[in-house]
Amino acid sequence: MEKLCIASTNEGKICELESILENVFKLYSLKDFKSIPEIQEPYESFLENAQFKAQYYSQFTQILTLSEDAGLEVLALNGFPGIRTHEFIKHSGGLVNAYYRLAELLSDKENYSAQFRCASVLYDPVHGRYYVGEGSMKGSICFPAKGIHGFGFDPIFVPDGYEQTVAELGEVIKTAIGHRGKSIRTLLENYHLGLFL
Q: Is 69 marked active-site?
A: yes
Phi, psi (rounded to 5 degrees) for 172: -65, -50
pLDDT at 78: 98
pLDDT at 155: 98
CATH of the domain at 107: 3.90.950.10
Q: In the chain, which stretches have pLDDT less than 50?
A: none
**Which residue is catalytic, options 69, 108, 124, 160?**
69
* 50-77 residue pLDDT tens: 999 999 999 999 999 999 999 999 999 9
Nearest C-alpha neighbor of 70 from the set 181, 180, 182: 180
Residue 146's domain spans which residues? 3-193
Residue 12, CA distances (Å) to 24, 93, 130, 168 in order:
20, 20, 24, 15
pTM assigned to the model: 0.94
Q: Is the backbone peptide bond immediately before 37 cis, with ω within 30 degrees of 0?
A: no
Strands 26-29 and 3-6: parallel
pLDDT at 35: 84
pLDDT at 197: 86
Query: How many structural domains compose the chain?
Result: 1
Cβ–Cβ under 8 Å, residues 63 and 33: no
